[in-house]
Amino acid sequence: MPKVSVIMPTYNRQQFLLQAVGSVLSQGFVDFELIVVDDGSTDETASLISAVRDSRLTYIRQDNRGRSYARNRALDIARGQYIAFLDSDDAYLPDKLAIQVSYMDDNPSVGMIYTSARCIDENGHELTERYAAVVSGRIYKHIAFFRPVTITLPTVMVRRELFARTGNFDENMSRFEDTDMWRRLSKETDIHALPTETCLLRTHGDNSLFAQNPEAIISSIDYYANKIKREDAELGSWEARNGLGRLYLYYGRAFMTVPGWGAFGRRMLAIAFGYWPPYIAFYALAVTRERLLPQRR
């Protein structure tokens, strides 16, 4: 039985795939399995993976069903005590698994940990942006709404038995499915932050905001908002309303920076302000105008 199962869905990522796979197979900690689920790629993914000779690698190919389905398929066969994740355009730093396994072994009451991470561009050049792991404990209100704390999936390690209580990834979600999982886990267990940077998160043309469909993003946020209202009513209506307002506000402001997306941005901002009392909405509107004003000059 491997100590860790690393789950990696992939779809048409041939230019980054071998770096991602290699970053796992070259870890200093060696007691793991890597499960790569190819979600119907039409590029050279299959031939690239077939050339990798390592008994710890399991490759599964399926019809295109989405990354949540792919992760769930891997979860169903994972054997490790701990579950880690990696997207096929990102990479682990060399001691990622060793650091996290040591922490989990030493802290049996902690069900999930996440870490800080560096950001790189399409060519692997380091960017100034960082993701910081900063809050620990019962952190639902910090992470369930994507803001103020964003937990990035490759930095996470979870005790496998927790998925029996939370369920697997929501296969109706193609966005926020990881945030939704951390939300559910945060109601079941303590989550701890490790400030060490353990991953490289890649920004490229396909995953930038400009390459997305704004209607699809809005639909995904609406789905997630309704799910929270349905499943988390016991946590208090103000906490949920405030958190959802922050989520819509974040994307509304982001949309306003994309040429041609102004109408979508205003729609998101209107929804955000509707979650708050008038005095909070007025303040948020004033701050939003101030932030956007330099971009219009």
Per-residue pLDDT tens digits for 176-188: 999 999 999 999 9
Specify whether the CB–CB gap between 203 and 125 falls below 8 A. no
Indicate if 107 and 191 belong to the same structural domain.
yes
DSSP reduced 3-state for 230: helix
DSSP reduced 3-state for 41: coil
Specify whether the CB–CB gap between 221 and 145 falls below 8 A. no
* Residue that finishes a domain, picked among 190, 206, 222: 206
Give yes or no for residue 155 having a pLDDT over 70: yes
Question: For residues 211 and 23, what is the distance between their CA atoms, to the nearest angstrom?
Answer: 27
At 151 the pLDDT is 96
> Average of pLDDT values for 240-259?
90
* Residue that finishes a domain, picked among 172, 206, 240: 206
| pLDDT-wise least confident of 71-80, 89-98, 272-281 | 272-281
DSSP reduced 3-state for 38: strand
Residue type, 238: W
Indicate if 17 and 98 belong to the same structural domain.
yes
* Domain span including residue 249: 213-296
> Average of pLDDT values for 160-168?
95
- In sequence order, the 6+-apart residues with CB closer than 8 A to the CB of 2 are 31, 32, 33, 56, 79, 80
If we measure between CA atoms, which residue out of 58, 61, 121 comes closest to residue 89? 121
CATH number at residue 168: 3.90.550.10
